[in-house]
Every structure is written in C-alpha cells, then in structure tokens.
Amino acid sequence: MSDQLQAFFSPESVAVVGASRNVRGLGHTVLKNIIDFGYKGRIYPVNPNADSVLDLKCYPNLSSIPDKVDVVVVVVPAPVVVPTIKEAVEKGIKGAVIITAGFREVGPEGLAAEREIVRIAREGGMRILGPNILGVIDAQARFNATFAAAKPEEGAIAFVSQSGALLTAVLDWAVREQVGFSKIVSLGNKADISEIDLFRALEDDPETRVIVAYLEGVTNGDEFRKAAKELTKKKPLVVVKSGGTAAGSRAVSSHTGSLAGSDAAYDAAFKQTGILRAPTMQDLFDVSLAFAYQPLPKGKRLAIVTNAGGPGILATDACERKGLQLATFDPETIAKLREGLPSTANVYNPIDVIGDAAADRYELAIECAMADPNVDALLVLLTPQTMTEIEKTAEITVRAAQRGIKPVLASFMGGHAVEEGIRILKEGRVPNYAFPERAVEALVAMNRYRDWTEAPEEEPVAIKVDREAAAAVIKQAREAGRNSLGDLEARGVMEAYGLRLPGNKLATSPEEAVAFAREIGYPVVMKIVSPDILHKSDIGGVKVGLQNDAEVENAYHTIRGNALRYMPEAEIWGVSVQEMIKPGREVILGVTYDSQFGHLIMFGLGGIYVEVLKDVAFRLAPLTRREAEAMIREIRTFPLLAGVRGQQPADLDAVIDALLRVSQLVTDFPEIIELDVNPLVVNPVGGGATAVDARIILAGGEQKPHH
C-alpha cells in the first residue's frame, strides 16, 4: 500500500479536531470509538475549550501538539474545516479524514469550499478522505475513526462505500452475522481520494482477500477501468452500483441511444474489467463471504449433500440455470456411499442421506464427495428433522472446509433450530446461506472470477483501414454544416473501414434509376436520400425487390412523392438504387457516447422488435476479439443466429469482424457520438455480412476526445 494511504489505516498518531466533551457530539463519538476499539498509537484531541476529553489531554490547536501527527480526523463545523486543513498542512500532517458534511452536497458554496480544501491539501502534499463521510476503520490495526456504534470483527473483506449511512447499517448487520472486515472506508464526496485510489491501495493489502464496494458513480471512467482491471487480476472485486449518470440526460435519436440507458456503460465497464456486479446488497455479501472464507473452485462441478429431496432439487435447478454442473461421481465414490448409507439413500449427486440421518451419514457423504476427483466444490444442505444432529453436522462441515482444498458452502435451512449450527459454521468460516439458490449464486460468481483470472490478456485488434478516406467524408459533412451522416455519406465511412456494402448509385431521375438498376442487376432496392429523413421506411421511402424497369420507374415517383408528403420542404438528393442482398439474419450494430466511459458499442438482433425486446449487449470500445464474441453470445436470441431447427448457422465471424471495424472507427474518430448499422444482414457461414443501412452522428460543438 502506498505510504500516503497507509497513514489512513494504521497511523502511529492521530489528532481529532473537534473532539468535544458533549457525549452526543460526533467529535466525542469519534474519539471514543478510536479509544474503545483498542487503538495503540498516540491520540491527540484538539479542542480550544477543554483541558481534557475522555481522560486525554486536550490541545487548543494542531500546532500546539508537541509530536508528529500522521492523520487528522476533522469533526468541526463546515466553516472551520478550511482553516483546520491549512493548519494541518502547516503541521506537516499527511492525511485528513474529513467527517464534516455541508460541502458539494449542499450547493455551489459548499463545492467551492471543497475545492479550496483540495487545493490547500495538494499544495501541502496531504491527502483527503471525504468530506461528508462516516470515517475509516482498520480492523487489524484496531483503528476506528468513525462515528459508527458497531465494532466490526477482523476479517478478509475490505468494504468501500460511497454512502456512509449504508455503511452504518452494514456494520451493524455484520456484527450480528459475524462477518469480519479488513478495512472499511467511507468515500463520501470523494473530493480527493476516490475508489480508484483504494483499489490501488488494497491490491497488495495482505489482510484483504476480497474488495466489496457500494458506488453511485465513478470519478474517472478510464482510470477506473485501469485500476479495476489491475486489481481484479489479483483479488475479486464485487460492486453494487446504484444511481444514474449524466449520460442519460442528452437527447438521443438513434436506436442505440434509446436502448443504452445510463447503466449500460457501467455494466459493460464492469464486465470488461472483471468486476463482479451484485444486483443487491444481499448478493454483495453472499458472494463476498464465499470469496473471503473459501478457496476458488478449480471447475464448475458441484457435489451436493442433503437430508431432504426438495432442497436438493432446488440446488440442482439453480445449478443448471446458472451454468454450473452436477459432478458425476467416480464408481469408487458410489460404491463407498452405497456401502455406508441405507439402501433408501441416493448415492448419486445430490447425495440424499435421508431425513433420519444423524451426523455420521453426513460425515461419510461429505468425506466421499470431497475425496472424489470429479468434484470441484461442495454444498451441504440441511433441514432440521427430528433425528438431525445439527451442531455435529456443522462441525463436520467445518472440518471438511478447513482442509482448504475445495470450497465448501452450506445452507442450513430454518430459523431457531439451526441457529447454533449456523453459528458453528460461521465461526468455522463456512459461508451459510438461508436457501440453496443463494449458495449456488455465490459459487457461480467464484467460477466467473476464476475464468476471468485464467483468461489470457488480449489486446484490441488493429485492422488495416483507410482512415484518410473516412476523415474526408466526415470533413465534407462538417463543411456543409451537417453533423448527421445519412446512409449515403455513412457508406463512405463504412467502406473506408472495410465493411461490406451493397452496390449503390444515386439517381436523380427515373431514367437514371432504370439505367442504374440495369447496371446493378435485378432485383434492386430503392431508397430516398435526404438529409432531413432519418427513418426511411417509416415514410414509405424504401422499396425492396424491384424486378424490372417499370417497377423502378414507378418506385422512383412513389418514393419521392412519399417523402415530399411527409415533409414538403425536405431537401431531397435523389433516390438510391441498391443491390438487393440475399436474405439473412438482420442484426444491429450501434454506438453511443457515454460521458464517463466513452464509446459504448451495442449488438442485437435487428428488425422491428429490437426496441421492444431490448435484447441487446453492450461493451466499451475499443473491443477485443473475445469481447466482440461475448457480446454476440450474450443476447437471449443468440440461438437464432447459431441456427435452430436445421437452419444454417449465421456467419458469426463476419459479425465479429464488423463489430471490430466499428469499434476501431469510433476509436479513431472520437467525434462520432452515435452510429447505427441497422441492419447488418448476416448470411450463413462463409457468406459474410452486409451493412445495408448506416447512420452516423457527429458531436455538435467542440468535443473533447475521450480516447
């Protein structure tokens, strides 16, 4: 851990500015917590109106403290914080925990004060945690500089939270649940220290095995991704993310824009950096307990031991739904189980030791499952029946887990009857879940994390493209005062980036249209070309399957007429005559720009249902090949692409290639803030994919490039 941040966790000395005698004051509570938690360093209360607080000598100000101070905890009213920080810098203090609220969160004046604090601190080489926080706890160092009442146990979970109130609740819950922590950090307004600093600090913290975070937003998208990726290579990071982002506020006009809620970028960022996203706080702790207490499973094969059929089935179902496998036991295991268990027992997975089982049957089943080389993880289920030896079974489970070879999770179901058993499990560091599905969920997360750590590093693909040609098209549109490129112009860009396009010619008369159609070859497609018309078929601006000269001539008039009826003053460039592409699966590739994370790429099945079904996948640019492939496989309707009922599979390689080219395009041209290829028509394997319609929107004013 960097020395700078180390000071916040295990300082050799701490000053509490605003340590009051009033037992109800925050300053009093903070000081009391530092003392009561067993802090071994020197403590200096600062209060000009008291000689002593809680039997400690009081100092009128920081400069009157005779010794070196590592960290200062600030609990004075907001207006006094700036002068306090100045004084702290003069004293040479390296870290300030500013608990005081009333800054950015209350308005512009508060924000100005907050900025001033950061400015003073930066100049003086001091780091700031907060303001507006609960504080910080290091359980190992027995340092609790918070106003939280609960005293957390020591453990392997580091908890970083953007909400102080939530922390208080979690702390209280954790004490009852015997959940231990290494470090607990309240981020508050993140004026200086952010989650990114903490990710870096906790990466090598020997006390921390898993990092859990509650975040409402991130400070810097790129830095966040970098730090998270570094961290997740070493330790699991589980995040609950709530709240929206500013990205959602910009009006959007494309399909992708309407589908990419502000959350999509976060979701993509998490997936691409190995962060495990927990939908709820409950999931957050379900998962982190497993990481904190148990080794990672080597594979997905789970053994289940139960004394009742129902829970076994629940666990099996969850297993299948979530992509885990039920282990198939060795014949030797089955023989041993058959020998030791009653004939009514099920010796296959899930092993059912039957309702009247005492602890000895559990012991045999657990031993056999743990010894079987086809088993990667064990789940022990228990329902309290008359004969059940709950505590003894808990002890046996703990003993099996303590070998530390394979993860062991438990679900002792019930309430009062299983209470003592669960206590034994918890003390023995076996995570227990109220119901089997939750245990399975935790194992799924462990497997996902193992997959992430084992996946080889992969760089975004660099494809040879004609960047200048694309730049020329964009420049031309800009010079014409437009920032929206319709199909015709977008084609120029797409072509430069190597996407396959249908043959196309712009006709400005029916005669020309017929000539072009003959040249291209029947059948053809015709489309209105107008910078004022975005959705062409909506207004009768697209005709497909035109077979002969007469149809083309007709279509020319109809399309023009429809366009002018829709918008009499529309600027019409003509009607394009286009090669008719062999039917295939229609997919959509899209891009939006997220203010925090940059370009967000979307993939989904195209056609009219895309907006209704919202069956789309997102990743941030630039894409790696594996990420592009994962996007395609992620949508629910993937089987339609892979081929169902004797259908030939679609050319997925061509889709991946198109995604990578689009990714490179927006990475090369950050000013592209929206892009739709809708549809990309994908033919069966080997047939490639054709972009029959594309649209590009450029940033309106001056836009700072993200990449």
Subset of 662-681 contacting Mg ion (CB under 5 A): 678
Cβ closest to Mg ion, residue 359 vs residue 677: 677
Stretch that binds Mg ion, among 10-18, 325-333, 383-391, 692-700 (CB under 5 A): 692-700
Provide the minimum distance between the beta carbon of 524 and ligand ADP in the complex, in angstroms, as a whole number: 8
Cβ closest to ligand ADP, residue 336 vs residue 585: 585
Partner whose footprint covers residue 27, from Mg ion, ligand ADP, none (CB < 5 to 8 Å by kind): none
Provide the minimum distance between the beta carbon of 509 and Mg ion in the complex, in angstroms, as a whole number: 25
The token pair that represents 422 in the structure block: 């669960």
Contact string 621-660 vs Mg ion (x = CB under 5 A): ----------------------------------------
Q: What is the CA radius of gyration of the chain?
A: 32
Q: Cα–Cα distances in Å, from 495 out to 126, 487, 502, 586, 672?
A: 53, 12, 10, 19, 16
Provide the minimum distance between the beta carbon of 484 and ligand ADP in the complex, in angstroms, as a whole number: 13
Cβ closest to ligand ADP, residue 173 vs residue 609: 609
Q: Are 329 and 374 in contact (CB under 8 A)?
A: yes
Cβ closest to ligand ADP, residue 635 vs residue 680: 680
**Packing angle, helices 359-371 and 331-340, rounded to 10:** 170
Give the list of residues 6+ apart from residue 261 with CB closer than 8 angstroms, or none: 248
Provide the minimum distance between the beta carbon of 668 and ligand ADP in the complex, in angstroms, as a whole number: 25
Residue 295: HSE in the Cβ half-sphere, 13 Å Cα cutoff: 14
Q: Count residues contacting Mg ion (CB under 5 A)?
A: 2
DSSP assignment of 199-212 equals HHHHTT-TT-SEEE
Provide the minimum distance between the beta carbon of 201 and ligand ADP in the complex, in angstroms, as a whole number: 50
Q: Are 81 and 117 in contact (CB under 8 A)?
A: yes
Provide the minimum distance between the beta carbon of 540 and ligand ADP in the complex, in angstroms, as a whole number: 10
Cβ closest to Mg ion, residue 245 vs residue 678: 678
CA distance 361 to 384: 15
Residue 150's SS3 state is coil
Partner whose footprint covers residue 446, from ligand ADP, Mg ion, none (CB < 5 to 8 Å by kind): none
CA distance 313 to 321: 12
Partner whose footprint covers residue 512, from Mg ion, ligand ADP, none (CB < 5 to 8 Å by kind): none
Cβ closest to Mg ion, residue 100 vs residue 678: 678
Q: Are 653 and 542 in contact (CB under 8 A)?
A: no
Partner whose footprint covers residue 581, from ligand ADP, Mg ion, none (CB < 5 to 8 Å by kind): ligand ADP
CA distance 464 to 676: 22
CA distance 513 to 626: 43
Dihedral pair phi/psi, residue 575, rounded to 5°: -125, 125
Contact between 693 and Mg ion by CB under 5 A: the answer reads: yes
What residue type is 575 in one-letter code?
V
Block residue for tokens 């809708």: 678
Helix (H) or strand (E) holding 453: helix 436-454
Provide the minimum distance between the beta carbon of 693 and Mg ion in the complex, in angstroms, as a whole number: 4
Q: Which residues bind ligand ADP (CB under 6 A)?
A: 502, 525, 527, 535-537, 542, 544, 578-581, 586, 678-679, 692-693
CA distance 84 to 652: 62
Provide the minimum distance between the beta carbon of 514 and ligand ADP in the complex, in angstroms, as a whole number: 18
Cβ closest to ligand ADP, residue 135 vs residue 679: 679
Cβ closest to Mg ion, residue 308 vs residue 665: 665
Residues at the contact surface with Mg ion, assessed by CB under 5 A: 678, 693
